[in-house]
A and B are shown apart, each in its own frame.
Chain A
Amino acid sequence: MSAVNATTENLSEILSGEDIAPTTKISAAAAPARRTPYFETESGKRLVEGTVNLFKGLIPPLLGILLFIALWALVANSGKSIPGPSETWAAAVELFSDPFYNNGPNDQGIGWNILNSLYRVGLGFGAAAVVGIPLGFMIGRFQFLNQMLSPIISILRPVSPLAWLPIGLLVLQKAEPASIWVIFISSIWPMVLNTAAGVQRIPQDYMNVARVLNLSEFKVFTKILFPAVLPYVLTGVRLSIGVAWLVIVAAEMLTGGVGIGFWVWDEWNNLNVAHIIIAIFVVGIVGLLLEQALMLLAKRFSYE
């Protein structure tokens, strides 16, 4: 509104010839009376600056994505095996136009596949959190437990997630719980280790407050231990969910059933490469969303 008004005023000024009048005194006296154009006011300047910054921030990532698509198109054009961006886009539009169809266990919409994978990740990761976080607290709190368990953890942690699958299949007999087991065992470590590190790094000052006040164990836990360690726990959770989502695709490729990993394998057998590329993007984007959601949660609980 005010921007428009200012322009009309400037126009009328110019038309009335004040600005081009040789008597500079008059125009100087008239200047304060002139209303400042919107884009020269404080809020206007901030708006302009904000918009400019937004574009400045958007340009590099957009450029990166464009470059990536161009490179992809180049690779796709040079050979015959990989579909190009436009072809893939068309396939994706078709695929996502009906994400929840169900033609029996081996032919379901992409939505069902994603949800099934998320469900397995949720179960395996949830179980890992329920076991891993309290375990981390105890390892951090009791030096004896720490010394007792750290050699075992050091040996088990670097084991490739899929190496656990045969054990799962052997013990649990079925594919579904076996893949959940793989998620569990591979995503538990970051939560155990980060929680334990958090407990060990609680500043002595906080514990001194607890000691001077003679707080009960319950109060020490709720008012000091838990809030002090929460940021570490959330870091562990974030790393764990990344691992879980990384592992589910591989696990499902081996075990089958409905899920994004199995879907990739199925499409490979159908030689539908466009769908495989779509699956790669879907896995990446869902992983990113999970991570971002947990980042938000972590920010909510950081107190600094």
Chain B
Amino acid sequence: MQSYVQIENAGMVFNTKKGKFTALTDITLNVEQGEFIALIGHSGCGKSTLLNLVAGLIDATDGVLLLANKEIKGPGPERAVVFQNHSLLPWLTAFENVHLAVEKVFGGSETKAQLKARTSAALNLVGLTHAANKLPGEISGGMKQRVGIARALAMEPKVLLMDEPFGALDALTRAHLQDELMKIVAATKSTVIMVTHDVDEAVLLSDRIVMMTNGPAATIGEILSVDLPRPRDRLALAHDAHYHDLRSQVLEFLYSRQMRPKEAA
């Protein structure tokens, strides 16, 4: 059987004012249905670019990307994106931002009341019921990010693409949302590709950690299988030797084999 998401020798070259810039080269990755992939790598290596390729927001200049054996041509609501910079529409309230997505995906088959209930449920999930009627300009950065997460989850996508979704959150909210995400993914069997800077987060959440080399012309350096049994419990894992072993393998890759770009220069 073919993998659900197939990335074959994908490359991305940007045309910039200073000429061509090769961001990604020779990326090959197969993601199974229901698999949780974490993308990790130093800043600027091309994680967002790879996510945008799968989202269909940009077109690969080399290779092919397939979703369920069909070539990815442009974006679509079955591949929801949690953007790195949240990308909420500033003139719509938190509720309206989520509702816009819910309406688009379920508007054809459900009543208005059902759509509203879905929207409220998504906001409730990220703990923002009280801020439903606030505009993005009136809420904190972490709250904006949570609205972005609610918007993506509410769409019940087949593939959930998340670009550092928990980056701007405090440790407690982050832990809470990680747990919620694990529950949702277990229940919906969604396929997830998530960019993160956080090694603990990558090990806790994912089935495989894709570690990228530094740019330019970044590619996949190593793939680590996280064979910890599910459901996973963060407290129990804190004392788990295998967890610490996996964690140090990622750290080893990031800090000794792929030095920070600045130090390398």
Contacts and interface: CB of A to CB of B under 8 A. Distances in A.
B87 interface: yes
Contact of A303 (B57, B74, B85, B135): B135
A211 B57 contact: yes
A228 B87 CA distance: 13
Interface residues of B, number: 22
A224 B179 CA distance: 33
Interface string B39-56: 000000000000000011
B100 A213 contact: yes
B89 A206 contact: yes
Interface string B89-114: 11110000000110010000000000
Nearest to A206: B89
Interface in B62-97: 74-77, 79-81, 83, 85, 87, 89-92
B100 A227 contact: no
Given A205-B83, A223-B100, A303-B135, A211 B91 contact: no
Contacts of A219: 100, 104
B89 A223 contact: yes
A269 interface: no
A224 B90 CA distance: 10
A212 B90 contact: no
B85 A211 contact: no
B137 interface: yes
Contacts of A214: 75-77, 104
A209 interface: yes
Given A205-B87, A212-B76, A214-B75, A223 B92 contact: yes
Nearest to B137: A304
B115 to A, nearest CB: 14
A214 B74 CA distance: 10
A303 B80 contact: no
A236 B135 CA distance: 25
A224 B100 CA distance: 11
Given A205-B83, A212-B76, A303 B91 contact: yes
Interface of A: 205-206, 208-209, 211-215, 219, 223-224, 227-228, 303-304
Given A208-B83, A212-B81, 11 more contacts: A206-B87, A208-B57, A211-B57, A211-B74, A212-B76, A212-B80, A213-B100, A214-B75, A215-B104, A227-B91, A304-B137
